[in-house]
């Protein structure tokens, strides 16, 4: 049984462009592969643990070959539980609106929680990092209201897609499908771009 984890970084609910696109993608997946189990992780639902001093201490203890104890052990278990939800999936869909040229802080928090030694990666002093999420694939929906690749610098920079695509590859995921919706909402009618993004999502979902 194939499991698909939808990681939603948008807090806008029914007003979200990225979530609307995601529904077209997921509907196509369901049509083509009705046996796929879809788990939606709304990062804004309050269940994502923080990664503060205790968790950071636990991470460094693990790096040193030690076992976290006390408050650090509890923080480490919370991170592990979140990672296990990620690791249980064979496929991923991430909905990622652009915030201030980058990704929403809640998605960065998710990345910082799950990106742990022995979970997402291993590290060798001579060879560096090795990602452990190999054999999986991901689709990413990127949206932005002002930034666009062919617009001048005054419309912003893209620290969104390069960062997240790099993180996915770092985890061992090489098969990445990208869907973008980047209209200039300040000056243009976005309907045609929206229809195109919805169509792209349906086609990507059929092939995924």
CB 94 within 8 A of CB 141: yes
Percent of the chain with pLDDT over 70: 98
Q: Domain of 19: which CATH number?
A: 3.40.50.360
Cα 151 from Cα 171, distance rounded (Å): 31
Q: What percentage of the chain carries pLDDT values higher than 90?
A: 84
- The reported pLDDT for the residue numbered 204 is 98
Q: What confidence tens digit (pLDDT) does each residue in 38-89 have?
A: 999 999 999 999 999 999 999 999 888 899 999 999 999 999 999 999 999 9
Rounded CA separation 173/100 (Å): 26
Distance between CA 34 and CA 122 in Å, rounded? 35
Hey, what are 34's tokens?
């009705």
Q: Which domain holds residue 60?
A: 3-207
Report pLDDT for 119: 94
Number of domains in the chain: 1
pLDDT digits (tens, 9 = 90+) for 89-112: 999 999 999 999 999 999 999 999
pLDDT at 176 over 90: yes
Does the pTM of the predicted model rise above 0.85? yes
Closest residue by Cα to residue 114 from 91, 97, 131: 131
């Amino acid at each position: 049984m194939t499991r698909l984890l939808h990681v939603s970084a948008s807090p806008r609910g029914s007003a979200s462009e990225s979530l609307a696109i995601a529904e077209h993608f997921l509907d196509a997946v369901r049509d083509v592969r009705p046996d796929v189990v879809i788990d939606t992780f709304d990062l804004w639902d309050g269940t994502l643990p923080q990664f503060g001093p205790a968790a950071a201490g636990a991470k460094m203890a693990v790096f040193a070959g030690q076992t976290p104890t006390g408050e650090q052990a509890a923080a480490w278990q919370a991170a592990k539980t979140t990672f296990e939800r990620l690791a249980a999936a064979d496929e991923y869909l991430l909905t990622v609106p652009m915030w201030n040229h980058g990704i929403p802080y809640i998605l960065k928090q998710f990345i910082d929680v799950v990106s742990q030694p022995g979970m997402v990666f291993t590290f060798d002093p001579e060879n560096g990092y090795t990602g452990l999420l190999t054999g999986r694939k991901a689709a990413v929906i990127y949206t932005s209201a002002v930034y666009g690749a062919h617009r001048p610098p005054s419309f912003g920079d893209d620290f969104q897609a390069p960062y997240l695509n790099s993180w996915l590859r770092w985890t061992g995921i090489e098969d990445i499908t990208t869907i973008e919706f980047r209209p200039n909402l300040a000056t243009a009618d976005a309907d045609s771009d929206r229809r195109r993004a919805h169509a792209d999502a349906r086609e990507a979902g059929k092939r995924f």
